[in-house]
């Protein structure tokens, strides 16, 4: 396994939350908020997820590996691309918090929402905030261990 595989594993859950959260944030901003999904929404979200995974994989293949550092453990493999990972983590954190705020405010301000859509929106806010907390932790670890060397 290469460091690219580890980067994809670290970000895959966050990417899934990102694309489905983005889709719900778009639905919450429509004229009639929180309408049920259309039949192509899930396919579009999965395609977006695949594009993000490929977009993470490409920079890890283009950037040369550092030959001066010894990575003795498998968990340290992603730190070869610490700058790329830190940028992705920071971007994801900002996006998660922005989408959680949009969805949360729309849920708070909209009265006539189907109970199932309200529950789905509340859960998405929870998932986005939980993912943001995980990304902040990942970002802290990257700064402490990655940039220190």
Q: What is the CA 9 to chain-centroid distance, rounded?
A: 12
Q: What pLDDT tens digit does each residue of the chain (149 aa) get?
A: 454 445 556 788 899 999 999 999 999 999 989 998 889 999 999 999 999 988 888 876 776 666 655 555 555 555 566 777 788 888 999 999 999 999 999 999 998 889 999 999 999 999 999 999 988 887 777 777 665 55
Residues 6+ apart with CB under 8 A from 15: 49, 52, 53, 56
Domain map (residue ranges) of the chain: 3-146
Report pLDDT for 139.
Answer: 79
């Amino acid at each position: 396994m290469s460091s690219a595989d580890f980067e994809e594993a670290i970000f895959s859950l966050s990417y899934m939350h990102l694309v489905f959260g983005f889709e719900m944030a778009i639905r919450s901003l429509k004229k009639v908020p929180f309408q049920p999904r259309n039949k192509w929404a899930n396919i579009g979200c999965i395609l977006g997820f695949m594009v993000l995974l490929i977009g993470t994989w490409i920079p890890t293949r283009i950037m040369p590996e550092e030959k001066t550092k010894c990575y003795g453990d498998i968990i340290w493999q992603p730190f070869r691309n610490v700058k790329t990972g830190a940028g992705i983590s920071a971007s994801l954190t900002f996006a998660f918090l922005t989408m959680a705020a949009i969805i949360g405010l729309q849920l708070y301000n909209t009265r006539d929402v189907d109970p199932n859509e309200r529950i789905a929106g509340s859960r998405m806010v929870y998932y986005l905030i939980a993912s943001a907390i995980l990304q902040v932790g990942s970002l802290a670890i990257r700064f402490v261990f990655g940039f220190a060397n």
